[in-house]
Structure formats: C-alpha cells, structure tokens
Amino acid sequence: MAIKSTPARYGAVAILVHWTSALLIIGLLMSGFRASAALDSATKASFLRFHVPLGVLILALTVFGIIWWQFADRKPESLPGDRLQTAAARAVHVLFYVVIVGMAASGIGMLALSGAGSVIFSSGTAALPDFSNYAPRTPHGFGARALVALLVLHVAGALYHHFIKKDRIFARMGLGR
C-alpha cells in the first residue's frame, strides 16, 4: 500500500489516521460520558485520567491530518453520486474537524479555568470542581453530542455506500481489496 493516496484509494497515512482517530474518538466519548455520569469525585477523576490524554492525542492527530491533507497528500476522487451527497459528505468531514478542535479547546478551557488538572493527575483524594460552573462546559457537552451525531451520519453514509451503492467504499479505506 502506498504512503500517499491515489485517485482511487486512500494512502497508508490517511488510513492509519482515520481508523486510529475513529477508535480513539469512541474511547473519548465513552470515557467522557462515563465521567459526566459519575457520582463521586474519585470515579470521575479515574475516567478523566484516561479522557484528558486521549483528547490531547485526538487533537494532535486532527492537526496532523489537516496538515497532511493541506501539504502532503491529495484525497482520492469523489465517488460517483449526486451533488447533494457529495456536499453532505464534505460538510460532515469539515464539521468533524471543527467539532474536534472545539471540543479540545473547551476541554482545555475547563481544565485551565477550574484547576482540575492538578486534582485529576495527582494521587490525592481532593474533590473535583463542579465543571458546570465553568463556561466551557456547555460547548463541551454540546460538542460531544454533535460528535455522536456526526459519527452516526458518517457510519450511515459508509454503510449506504457499502450495501446500497456497492462501490467498495471500505476497500478505499483499507478494509478489503
């Protein structure tokens, strides 16, 4: 498999970033929703010890992906379809980037404003602050739900291409020939 994309298939770097990001985002959402639902500070902190570094890693992968597409690689040609489908696919991909960067910014903002970083990453038993008292909490919660919606749209689109259009979308992304 080539490092860079061809007109018909994504390259190894794009595929690795895509599938790694997908798995990490699922872990990020699960740990974030679990932390949000945790009733005691110790449980919430244990989820956040996993969640925060994962968020930083996703941000780094997203920035790398943006730089990769801008300067190093070209995306394969769009699959045949109507203009509305093509526009919807582009919108979902752009919104992924916007939401991920926004989520990282609001997460960092919450940690910075609340001082929770020292509580999360210490071995002590200090209580976490109430994140709802900090302005970045609202866009962070909204972003998490938007990210779930975007994932559902993205997966639905991929399944539509695979099962209905049968245009080998998964092969373009490294799954199959």
Query: Which residue, chain included where needed, has tokens 């602050």?
Result: 129
Please report the pLDDT score of residue 50 as a whole number: 96
For the chain, give every domain's residue range.
Answer: 12-172
Task: Work out the average pLDDT over 70-96.
Answer: 92
pLDDT for res 15:
97
Long-range CB contact pairs, 23-28, < 8 A, 24+: 24/54, 24/57, 24/58, 24/61, 25/58, 25/100, 25/147, 25/151, 26/151, 27/54, 28/54, 28/55, 28/58
Mean pLDDT calculated for residue range 21-26? 98
Portion of the chain with pLDDT greater than 70, in percent? 100
Mean local confidence (pLDDT), 149-177? 93
pLDDT of residue 79: 84
Instruction: Evaluate if residue 71 carries a pLDDT over 90.
Output: yes
Say yes or no to pLDDT of 131 above 90. yes
User: With respect to CATH, is domain 12-172 assigned 1.20.950?
Assistant: yes
Which of these ranges, 12-16, 51-55, 161-165, has the smallest mean pLDDT? 161-165
Q: What percent of the chain has pLDDT over 90?
A: 86
